[in-house]
Amino acid sequence: MTVLFSELLVPGWAEGENAMIGLNAVTGIYGDDNAFTLPCHNSDPEIFFSDKSEEIAYAKSLCAACPVKKQCLEGALSRQEPAGVWGGELFEEGVVIAVKRLPGRPRLNQNLVATA
């Protein structure tokens, strides 16, 4: 399936006249008239914003084969993406993180319990 990027605008955190972002915002290199097939546009977009580690890992694996991975990551860093997998990396509050921390209180460290 080929998708026009101009049709793939993403509503979300952006405000003002750029309230939606498309491929140009992601990569900064392609025009609106181009049609491409990217892994994230042929997959469930929810996995790129999932809380589940296995879905995040799958999203990252899809990015690995993406022809604009480098540009996507550079764009996400420059925009300080608040969440999601971009360019093969997981973002939270504008920075790349290794693992997504789930809501709620962290588990007690077993070493601390043993010495208490």
Q: Residue 51 Cβ, how far from ligand SF4 at the closest point, in Å?
A: 17
47 interacts with ligand SF4 by CB under 6 A: no
Residues between 76 and 95 with contacts to ligand SF4, criterion CB under 6 A? 86-88
62 interacts with ligand SF4 by CB under 6 A: yes
Nearest to 5 by CA among 34, 28, 48: 34
Residues between 7 and 36 with contacts to ligand SF4, criterion CB under 6 A? 26
Q: How far apart are CA 77 and CA 84, in angstroms?
A: 12
Q: Which residues bind ligand SF4 (CB under 6 A)?
A: 26, 38-40, 62-63, 66, 68-69, 72, 86-88
